[in-house]
Amino acid sequence: MNRQFAANNSTAEIPAPVCAALREARHVVIFTGAGISAESGIPTFRDALTGLWENFDAETLATPAACRVRHCDLMFSIGTSSVVYPAAALPFEAAARGAKVIQVNPVATELDEVAYCNLSIAGFRPGLPNP
């Protein structure tokens, strides 16, 4: 069941299906793009010289993340994380295993088709109904 919601501003209420999914979930994964990390002061994987790939083996980091996705029952995919591969495959894997995937992204992505719910900021994804 795919639900689309657009917020008029940053103080909009959380849609009821999202609240219900959070209440019911036992294992939640929050998957974000590098922009959220960078703005929060957390090193990203892609930055030259300071990126995590410079200091860690990608497979060593990716294996625990994939393991958590395999066992989650709710996954939030926030920002560009749903369009940058190979990591973008993780929300699809979660959905295929029965997890509810909630996408938060200002633009349409391939994940729209399998996401339990799509959240957007009004003005960026025209045509979405308000909650």
| CATH number of the domain enclosing 26 | 3.40.50.1220
Q: What is the pLDDT of residue 130?
A: 39
- Asked if residue 128 belongs to a domain, the reply is no
- Asked if residue 50 belongs to a domain, the reply is yes
Number of domains in the chain: 1
Nearest to 104 by CA among 125, 131, 130: 125
Give pLDDT tens digits for 64-116: 667 778 889 999 988 766 677 777 888 999 999 999 999 888 778 888 889 99
Q: What is the pLDDT of residue 8?
A: 56
Write down the mean pLDDT value for the chain.
74
- Asked if residue 116 belongs to a domain, the reply is yes
Q: What percent of the chain has pLDDT over 70?
A: 55
- Asked if residue 126 belongs to a domain, the reply is no
- Asked if residue 108 belongs to a domain, the reply is yes
What range defines the domain where residue 117 resides? 3-121
Describe the strand order of the beta sheet including 28-32 as a list of residue ranges: 3-7, 117-121, 100-104, 74-78, 28-32
Q: What is the pLDDT of residue 128?
A: 40
